[in-house]
Amino acid sequence: MKKLLLAFLMLFFLRGNSRAEPRIGLPDLERELTSSPEVLAAAASLSESRAVEERHKMTGGPRFFGELSLGGLNEPASRSETSALEGYTKLWARGGISIPLFGTWQKERIRELENRIISLGEELRLFAVRKANLTALRKAYALLWTIQERNALLERFLALEERIMPLLAKRTKEGFLLERDRLEMESWFSFARREAAAGSLLKEECLALIRKATGRKGLFGLEALFPRLEPLFFSGDVLARAAGEENRELQILTKAAETKREIARRVPGAQYDAYLRAGYGFSSEFPGRNGTEAFLSIAFDVPFREGRAASAAGRAALAGAEKAGHEMEARRIAIVADIRGGIARFDSAAAQRTFAMANARTAAESVRADRLRYGLLPGDMLEQLFRSLFIYLSSALAFVDSEGALLQAHCELLGMLPAAADGGDGKIIASFFPEEPERLRLLAPSWLDFATAFSSAPAAGKPALSPSGKVFYFWNGDDLLYPGKGKAFFDQAAKEGASGVLVSFSPRGIAFLRTAGGKARLEETLEAARRTGIRAELLLGDPAWILAAHRKELTGLLRELDGFAFSGIHLDLEPDQLPDAEGRRMELLLSLTETVREVKRATRLPVSLSVHPRYLEGSLGPVAAREFGAAGVNEIAVMIYSTKVDAVASRMKAILSSWPGLRFRLAVSVERELSGTESFFRGGKKSFLETVDFLQGELASPSFAGTAVQSWENYREMAR
């Protein structure tokens, strides 16, 4: 029954979602933001207000006028009542130009400024709608990805129900398990179904927000990719820019306040009307003669209490301008508060993720320990193992939720802070990467590097641990830049049990990557790696980069390649390859750690490195452990190139126990050119893999990541 249970439990970790659904990245959806009905409506409203503003501007100023009239008059020739009437008819034609003066001209300028304020208000509305939609889109997409991660865990757990519950029912019937405990365990599946149903509701809400933000009508089966959010830099200077010169909202409000102050300056002189009229006229009388005239006139229309009206209008306009200034400052204060609150939420979410990861790590270790005990001890270990699985599920869900909260906080800050820039004593705001080794160990389907052992019970005596996926050094990375080679390579690496490949490129390959064709080929290759579930890390191996004089070459290269979706950076910079290294190892070690710090500053990816074991032993060991830990090294591959397996295990165990705060991987050699005491090449692949299995079991601990094989080229040439 134990073997059967182990097979059932394996399904929990290996089962995934196989539905074929559309995969659209967040950047693609962001580009469709202009298709949102809300954005389109706001844009149309802005266009309307600007057109009205333009019309008022064009209808102001000097105006042409014309007049054509026809009149007649009958008058008595004398004052006598019997006098005859004499009459004539007159035709007038006049035309000219009317120029607004003084108050009238000021009124026209004020109307233009008032229309300008309306346009600024519509521009502010469009900005606010776009910003709100963009933030909502990002947060909805991030939440959708979080729901998918949760569902992957829940589906694997629910797959156990139909097989484990009969086993528990049998244990209850035989008197080994109380009905109360069986019912409690049955309720764990109800909990999982409830969480899955809540996730389905949230998913529909997220999709509704995405459709609203992009104007799309479909997306019902959208499968979110991981939202790789741009990092941000935060400092006092960045805060000042974000709440000042680079804040578009404040720029618009400043223009509106300045426009109101301009209105306040003009209003007192706009309480009366005045025009200058100039023109030419023609007249003809019948009977009579033709005549012409030229004229120039100034007309005023002044209120009786014009002075008081001007004073009151000025006070009102100044109050409006002052109000606009105060509102702008209030908004500036609110923006600063929002940014500081956003930073605090991000820091809180990051701390919660660290705590949740620690809980998940503890829960995972409990599952590992209970699985081993179940293989060796009689009694209620079936229930203990299942309980540990449920605790792990709860901890893993909390961990994913903490990641979701971190992404949400990051999305909010993206709408508040300017793009990342170097400099200052600030900090980088970056969430996380799904390829982080620790995260993969906790959440990936292969789960904790021993899930494959669930298919059979451990042998009696000493528990056996199945090997984790191997990592290979691959120095001929240029081969992956040929059409179709990348997919074929990673398919083969997956068949060989590779979980990661450290890929190095020659200078010629780097030059090719600077071209559009090279970029496209590498992106295809890295996508092939992702599809096979293999982490592809960039391998850099020039020891000269340890030295300060050559570090800029390394950081410059990293910045060139930072746009590619590598899973990490691996540095194989061996100090002992430099001249006179034996006499200055401490100096070179400190120089190496400074290089690692420069690399960490130049990239957002996890950084790991290969070192000789001597740098982790003796007087060098404490310095290396302290400096590598402070530099944020993700993983250290210890190059113990020896075929004396017991000696290798003993030396590696000493390093693991000495520095438990670091994460290590054992690097072994299958290089053809090395001797039989250093390389496993001559023993053949079968013997080598058995040795790897043995070392994996011997070294199993929370700080041991697995093995790294030097190198793929030689491994493929090994005899079976």
Q: What is the pLDDT of residues 113-122, one digit of tens each?
A: 888 888 888 8
pLDDT number for residue 465: 33
The confidence band for 26, taking pLDDT boundaries of 50, 70 and 90, is confident
State the Cα–Cα distance between residues 523 and 516, nearest whole angstrom: 11
Query: Domains in the chain, please, with CATH?
Result: 40-70+88-126+247-331 (no CATH), 473-717 (3.20.20.80)
The confidence band for 450, taking pLDDT boundaries of 50, 70 and 90, is very low
Contact indicator for 139, 345 with CB cutoff of 8 Å: no
Q: What is the DSSP string of 275-336?
A: EEEEEEEEEEEESS-EEEEEEEEEEEE--TTHHHHHHHHHHHHHHHHHHHHHHHHHHHHHHH
- Of 317-331, 498-512, 702-716, the poorest mean pLDDT is in 317-331
Instruction: Judge if pTM exceeds 0.85.
Output: no
State the CB neighbour count (10 A cutoff) for residue 231.
14
In this predicted model, which residue has the larger pLDDT, 78 or 636?
Answer: 636
State the CB neighbour count (10 A cutoff) for residue 537.
26
Helix (H) / strand (E) containing 273: strand 273-286
What average pLDDT does the structure give for the chain?
Answer: 82
Q: Position of tokens 């009969």? A: 166
In this predicted model, which residue has the larger pLDDT, 540 or 112?
Answer: 540
Sheet strands (E) in 138-272: 223-224, 232-234
**Rounded percentage of the chain residues whose pLDDT exceeds 90:** 24
Contact indicator for 299, 102 with CB cutoff of 8 Å: no
Contact indicator for 285, 93 with CB cutoff of 8 Å: no
- The per-residue pLDDT for range 184-197, each reduced to its tens digit, is 989 999 999 999 99
State the CB neighbour count (10 A cutoff) for residue 605.
24
- Residue ranges of the alpha helices (H) in 159-178? 161-173
Contact indicator for 163, 8 with CB cutoff of 8 Å: yes
pLDDT of 474 higher than 90: yes
The confidence band for 461, taking pLDDT boundaries of 50, 70 and 90, is very low
Give the mean model confidence (pLDDT) for residues 567-576: 91
pLDDT number for residue 612: 93
Give the mean model confidence (pLDDT) for residues 149-173: 85
State the Cα–Cα distance between residues 248 and 431, nearest whole angstrom: 25
pLDDT number for residue 21: 46
pLDDT number for residue 563: 78
- The per-residue pLDDT for range 325-346, each reduced to its tens digit, is 888 888 888 888 988 999 999 9
Angle at 598 between CA 595 and CA 600, to 5 degrees: 110
Examine residue 287 and say whether the peptide bond preceding it is cis (omega within 30 degrees of 0).
yes
The confidence band for 444, taking pLDDT boundaries of 50, 70 and 90, is low
Q: What is the DSSP string of 47-89?
A: HHHHHHHHHHHHHSS-EEEEEEEEEEEEEESSSSTTPPEEEEE
DSSP 231: P
pLDDT number for residue 345: 92
In this predicted model, which residue has the larger pLDDT, 420 or 705?
Answer: 705
pLDDT number for residue 372: 61
pLDDT of 718 higher than 80: yes
**Rounded percentage of the chain residues whose pLDDT exceeds 70:** 89
Give the mean model confidence (pLDDT) for residues 61-75: 81
pLDDT of 560 higher than 60: yes
State the Cα–Cα distance between residues 321 and 256, nearest whole angstrom: 9
pLDDT of 32 higher than 70: yes
Cross-strand partners of 667: 639, 708
Contact indicator for 86, 75 with CB cutoff of 8 Å: yes
The confidence band for 10, taking pLDDT boundaries of 50, 70 and 90, is very low
φ and ψ at residue 458, rounded to 5 degrees: -65, 150
pLDDT number for residue 454: 31
φ and ψ at residue 598, rounded to 5 degrees: -60, -40
Contact indicator for 253, 173 with CB cutoff of 8 Å: no
The confidence band for 583, taking pLDDT boundaries of 50, 70 and 90, is confident
pLDDT number for residue 648: 93
pLDDT of 18 higher than 90: no
Q: What is the DSSP string of 493-520?
A: HHHTTEEEEEE---HHHHHHHTSHHHHH
In this predicted model, which residue has the larger pLDDT, 191 or 463?
Answer: 191
pLDDT number for residue 196: 92
- The per-residue pLDDT for range 252-282, each reduced to its tens digit, is 888 888 888 888 888 777 777 888 888 888 8
pLDDT number for residue 298: 86
pLDDT of 460 higher than 50: no
Give the mean model confidence (pLDDT) for residues 367-383: 63
- The per-residue pLDDT for range 642-679, each reduced to its tens digit, is 999 999 999 999 999 888 888 899 999 999 999 989 99
pLDDT number for residue 445: 42
State the CB neighbour count (10 A cutoff) for residue 19.
7
In this predicted model, which residue has the larger pLDDT, 344 or 379?
Answer: 344
State the CB neighbour count (10 A cutoff) for residue 661.
9
Contact indicator for 634, 606 with CB cutoff of 8 Å: yes
pLDDT of 462 higher than 70: no
pLDDT number for residue 190: 93
Encode 689-702 in three state secondary structure. HHHHHHHHHHHCCC
pLDDT of 62 higher than 80: yes
**Number of residues that this document lists for the chain:** 720
pLDDT of 16 higher than 60: no
- The per-residue pLDDT for range 95-150, each reduced to its tens digit, is 888 888 887 777 788 788 888 888 888 888 888 888 888 888 899 899 999 999 99
